[in-house]
Each structure stands twice: as structure tokens, then as C-alpha cells.
């Protein structure tokens, strides 16, 4: 049985991600159960991975709040003569995730959803007050204990306006819960957490998210085409909750309410509809309001909305966007399975060719959908430069080769005008946050291109 830091006895592994594992452990000095998060040993030599570990420790350690898992300790395990593996010791939160609750029960009465929402909002308000943005709010990172809600895993957290931006084009997080500005690859602020909370609230009330795509590539395309989300009718939900949810889901970050405003509105709505305080059931997060009554909910209809002109909210709901957030700073948390291979039309332009490259990275492997459209008079040959440490191992449908960083795909026939060629690449990589590939050219001519790289760890176990 391994011991970390001379006092933390590792008992059982309770979760793994693309860059770290979490263990249930015993603090021998204080005789208490804790959670120990360990960076994977093979990533210990990566300066960026070690930096993320330090950032998570500093970001989470400054947050002391009953709805945030407490950080107890941090340090390094010595490996070999010069190697050091970072570790983080946290409060062990015993309960079920909101993801597990939703998977088992589907939608829930609005009162229960409101009680969960207000505690998440309280946690985010505390984080935002300290200029920390979580960046990965989702049901899998919300734990329901017998007494309260706990927000966990600040592995993608960032200090607002402090850290430099990471490699362009690499997005870390969970695409289903990303704010529109994150999907576009823009810097994000605390308003991104508010957007994610809006989606979590919507999911609790309806039992599902609005996206209908079967795979992540399709999901991202769907979200780009239909960025505006509206909550479908749900019987019995107060208008104030519906309006608040839609304000959280505004396309414009500056139109979203603050986390503190969310908590206040939800508390006021609960007080108006449930004025008599009493002890809640242990399976429901603790609040000062009455336990939820059964509410009949109508099935949600998820017709994709057409783009609508956004309504300007009242002055008190306007949230000022916080300074620019640096990207790519957390340890990777499990965010889903790798992309199922598919491709859609790349943007066409006046050039000889247009490329769309969408890649999903999972720990030490990657899958990429590559679509080529153009017009050539002889068989085509596409060349591009892969980031250091990325090696192609297979390509569907066409011949290929890789020499150093240069990857070449070769067709047997000319590209006809408007013809689309779609292939899937798979391979190995050494660094999950390496820059995206570049210099795409067909027969020596630089192509118009749309490149997106998403870091995707192992599926949620919840």
C-alpha cells in the first residue's frame, strides 16, 4: 500500500482522467479519510502539466466555502533522481454526483432543482469573488451529499486576468456545457460558469440537454448553427426561474446575470412559493426551505430554435464581463468518449481547396476528422505539419505517410469542383495540449482551413 507525503495512505482508486487519478486515502496523522489527486507519472516531465497542478492547488486553496471541496495539502512525490510528481490532498466528498441522480431519475421537481442551483451559485460566487473561474461546471462535478451540494474538480480553473493564454485552437472542457464564446475559442470569463449553470438548471428541469447530435463533432456543429437556447415549457415552474435560466443562457456574456444575482433570485422565488422552513429530506441538498413537493412535468420538446434577436434584460440582471481569462490551465477531468468518426462540409472559398480538421484528443491518443474540398487537374496530395510528438498510425480510405512532423495524404484521382473527400486519422500523441496542426496545402497550394482541437479524457463513470 503506497503512502504519499509520508502520511496519506492510498486505499482505492476512485477516478481517473487524461492527466490525473484520484484516490481514496487515509490521513494517518489526523486519522481521517481524504482524496488524493496524483498527476500521471508519465506526465511528470511536462512543464505544462506540472504548472496546471500548481494552478489547481493555488486556485482551489484560496476558496473556503461550505459548497466547495476543501483543499488540505499539496506536494510532490520524488520519482528517480530528478523526477517529481505533484499531488493534491482534498476533502473526500461522500455522495452521488448530480449526473448519477439525473441518469437514475431524469428531471426533478423545480423546488429541488432550485435548491441545488442556489448552492452551486453560492460556490461560484465565492470563486468569482476570488477571481477564480471553474470552467467545467457540469453534473459530473456536482456532488450531492446528505447535507449540502459540493462543487468539485477545479482542474480547469483559472485566475482571471493573471495567466497567459495557452496554445491557440486547443479547447479543454466539456463541449456539452461550454459557453458559446468557449466553442468559438475566445477567452472566457466568469460568465462562462454562469452559462454552464444555466444548462445544468435546464437539464434538471427537463431531464435532458437540447443537443440532439449523436457524436461530438455533430454536437459542435449543431451548437455553432443554433447558439441561442430557450427552455421548453415545463409545467409548474415559476416564470422567475424560467426567465433566470434563459438569462444565464444568453449568447452575450455581458447579458448574463452574476452568480450572486442567481442565488438571490432563486432564494426569493423559493421563499415566495415555499415560505415555511422545515428540515429537508437527507437525499435533498440542505436549504432553509421546505422539502420539494411532487410536481407533474410535461415532456420536453427539443425543437432546435431559430436564431432570434436577444431581448435586453433589466438593468439589475446585466453582468459586467470580467477581464480576459487565460485558457488551458487545469488538469484534465474525464469529459467523454472519443469522437465517432464523421465529417461535414468544410467552408468553401475562392481558393483551390478548403480544409476542415476537427480532432479529439484522449490521453495519449487522438482521432481527427478531415474533410477536403477543392478543384485540381491531377491527383491530389494534401500535406500538413503535425505538432511535435503527434504520430499518425492509421488513415481511412487514402494512402498516407509521415516523415518527422510532415504528414501527407494522397488521392488517386483529381478533385472535382465541389467534391468532398472525408477521411479519419488516428494516432498517438505525447502532449494532450500540444498546438493544432497547420500549413495545410493541396498540391503545394495553401488551403482555406477551419481547425479545432478538443482535449477529451476518459468517459464519466457517473
**Cell of residue 250, nine digits:** 444568453
Local structure of 17: helix, strand or coil: coil
> Across the chain, how many H-helices and E-strands are there?
8, 22
Distance separating alpha carbons of residues 62 and 53, to the nearest angstrom: 15
Q: How far apart are CA 101 and CA 327, in angstroms?
A: 31
CB-side exposure of 182: number of CA atoms within 13 Å? 29
φ/ψ of 91, rounded to 5, equals: -60, 135
Give the active site residues. Answer: 136
- Whether 440 and 314 have beta carbons less than 8 Å apart is answered as no
| 89 contacts 5 by C-beta, under 8 angstroms | yes
* Residue 17: how many other CB atoms lie within 10 Å: 20
Confirm or deny that 37 is annotated as ligand binding: yes
Bridge-partner residues for 451, per DSSP?
357
The CA-atom distances, in angstroms, between 375 and each of 347, 349, 378, 413 are 14, 11, 9, 11
Q: Does an H or E element contain 222, and which?
A: helix 216-225
**For residues 164 and 92, what is the distance between their CA atoms, to the nearest angstrom?**
32
Q: Which residues 6+ apart lie within 8 Å of 13 measured at CB? A: 21, 22, 23, 24
| Secondary structure letter of residue 423 according to DSSP | E
> What is the rounded distance in angstroms from the CA atom of residue 171 to the CA atom of residue 185?
7
List, in sequence order, every beta strand (DSSP E) within 48-128. Answer: 71-79, 83-91, 96-97
What backbone torsions phi and psi does residue 11 show, to the nearest 5 degrees? -105, -65
The Cα diameter of the chain in Å comes to 78
CA pair distance 186, 179, nearest whole angstrom: 10
**Phi, psi values for residue 209, rounded to 5°:** -95, 160
Annotated binding residues for ATP, written as ranges, equal 37
Amino acid at each position: 500500500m503506497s503512502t504519499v507525503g509520508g502520511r496519506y495512505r492510498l486505499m482505492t482508486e476512485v477516478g481517473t482522467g487524461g492527466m490525473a487519478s484520484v484516490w481514496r486515502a487515509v490521513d494517518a496523522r489526523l486519522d481521517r479519510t481524504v482524496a488524493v489527486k496524483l498527476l500521471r507519472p508519465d506526465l511528470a516531465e511536462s512543464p505544462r502539466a506540472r504548472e496546471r497542478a500548481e494552478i489547481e492547488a493555488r486556485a482551489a486553496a484560496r476558496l473556503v466555502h461550505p459548497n466547495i471541496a476543501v483543499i488540505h495539502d499539496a506536494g510532490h512525490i520524488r520519482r528517480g533522481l530528478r523526477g517529481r510528481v505533484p499531488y493534491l490532498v482534498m476533502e473526500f466528498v461522500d455522495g452521488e454526483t448530480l449526473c448519477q441522480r439525473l441518469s437514475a431519475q431524469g428531471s426533478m421537481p423545480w423546488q429541488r432543482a432550485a435548491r441545488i442551483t442556489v448552492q452551486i451559485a453560492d460556490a461560484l460566487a465565492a470563486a468569482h469573488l476570488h477571481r477564480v473561474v471553474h470552467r467545467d461546471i457540469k453534473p459530473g462535478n456536482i456532488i450531492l451529499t446528505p447535507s449540502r451540494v459540493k462543487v468539485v474538480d477545479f482542474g480547469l480553473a483559472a485566475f482571471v486576468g493573471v495567466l497567459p493564454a495557452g496554445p491557440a485552437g486547443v479547447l479543454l472542457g466539456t463541449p456539452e456545457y461550454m459557453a458559446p464564446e468557449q466553442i468559438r475559442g475566445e477567452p472566457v470569463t466568469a460568465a462562462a460558469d454562469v452559462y454552464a449553470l444555466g444548462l445544468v438548471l435546464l437539464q434538471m428541469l427537463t431531464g435532458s440537454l437540447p443537443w440532439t447530435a449523436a457524436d461530438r463533432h455533430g454536437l459542435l456543429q449543431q451548437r455553432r448553427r443554433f447558439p441561442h437556447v430557450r427552455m421548453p415549457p415545463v409545467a409548474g415552474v415559476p416564470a422567475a426561474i424560467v426567465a433566470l435560466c434563459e438569462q444565464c443562457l444568453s449568447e452575450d456574456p455581458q447579458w448574463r446575470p452574476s452568480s450572486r444575482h442567481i442565488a438571490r433570485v432563486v432564494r426569493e422565488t423559493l421563499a415566495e412559493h415555499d415560505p415555511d422552513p422545515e428540515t429537508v429530506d437527507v437525499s435533498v441538498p440542505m436549504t432553509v426551505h421546505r422539502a420539494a413537493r411532487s410536481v407533474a412535468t410535461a415532456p420536453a420538446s427539443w425543437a432546435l430554435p431559430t436564431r432570434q434577436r436577444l431581448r435586453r434584460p433589466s438593468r439589475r440582471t446585466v453582468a459586467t464581463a470580467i477581464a480576459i481569462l487565460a485558457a488551458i490551465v487545469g488538469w484534465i477531468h474525464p469529459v467523454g468518449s472519443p469522437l465517432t468518426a464523421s465529417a461535414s462540409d468544410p467552408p468553401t472559398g475562392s481558393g483551390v481547396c478548403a480544409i476542415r480538421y476537427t480532432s479529439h484528443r484522449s490521453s495519449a491518443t487522438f482521432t481527427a476528422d478531415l474533410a477536403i474540398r477543392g478543384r485540381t487537374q491531377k491527383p491530389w496530395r494534401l500535406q500538413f505539419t503535425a505538432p511535435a510528438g503527434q504520430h499518425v498510425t492509421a488513415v481511412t480510405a487514402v494512402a498516407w505517410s509521415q516523415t518527422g512532423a510532415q504528414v501527407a495524404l494522397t488521392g488517386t484521382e483529381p478533385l472535382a469542383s465541389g467534391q468532398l473527400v472525408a477521411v479519419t486519422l488516428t494516432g498517438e500523441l505525447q502532449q494532450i495540449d500540444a498546438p493544432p496542426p497547420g500549413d495545410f496545402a493541396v498540391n503545394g497550394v495553401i488551403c482555406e482551413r477551419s481547425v479545432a482541437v478538443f482535449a477529451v479524457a476518459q468517459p464519466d463513470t457517473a
